[in-house]
Structure 1
Amino acid sequence: MTPDTRIEATVTRRGFNTASPLPLILTVAATLPRAAVAATAPEGGASTRREVIKQRLPGEPQRDITLVEVTYPPGSGSPPHMHANGVMAFVVSGAIRSKVGDGPEQTFHAGDAWWEPVGAVHRVSRNASSTQAATLLAIYIAPAGAGPADLMKPM
Structure 2
Amino acid sequence: MIRVRFAGGLLAVGMVAASVACAPTAERATNQMPPVAATVSPPPSETLSPLLEQALPNIKGKTFTSTIVNFPPTARATPHRHGNAFVYAYVLKGEVRSRLDGEPVRTYRQGENWVEQPGAHHVLTENTSRTQPAKLLVIFISDTGDKLKVDDRPK
Normalising by structure 2, we get a TM-score of 0.66
Residue 60 of structure 2 is matched in structure 1 by 61
- How far the C-alpha of 1:74 sits from its partner, in A, is 0.3
Distance 2:47 2:59 in 1: 32
Residue 92 of structure 1 is matched in structure 2 by 92
- How far the C-alpha of 1:45 sits from its partner, in A, is 3.9
Distance 2:80 2:93 in 1: 22
Residue 79 of structure 2 is matched in structure 1 by 80
The letter of the residue matching 2:47 is T
Q: Which runs of 4+ in 1 moved over 3 A?
A: none
Structure 2 contact 44–74 (Cα < 8 Å) conserved: no
Q: Does 1:47 align with 2:46?
A: yes
Residue ranges of structure 1 left out of the alignment (5+ in a row): 1-43
Residue 36 of structure 2 is matched in structure 1 by none
RMSD over equivalenced CA pairs, Å: 1.4
Number of residue pairs matched? 109
- How far the C-alpha of 1:127 sits from its partner, in A, is 0.2
Task: Please give the per-residue CA displacement for 1:31-67, whole angstroms capped at 9, x wherever unaligned.
Answer: xxxxxxxxxxxxx843211101112212232311101
The letter of the residue matching 1:153 is V
- How far the C-alpha of 1:143 sits from its partner, in A, is 1.8
Return closer, same or farther for 1:142/1:131 CA change in 2, 3 Å cut-off.
Answer: same
Residue 145 of structure 1 is matched in structure 2 by 145
Identity %: 33
Task: Please give the per-residue CA displacement for 1:84-118, whole angstroms capped at 9, x wherever unaligned.
Answer: 12311111100100001110100001111101111
Distance 1:47 1:119 in 2: 21
Distance 1:98 1:46 in 2: 14
Normalising by structure 1, we get a TM-score of 0.66
Residue 111 of structure 1 is matched in structure 2 by 111
Moved more, 51-60 or 121-130: 51-60
Residue ranges of structure 2 left out of the alignment (5+ in a row): 1-42
SS class of match (2:132): coil
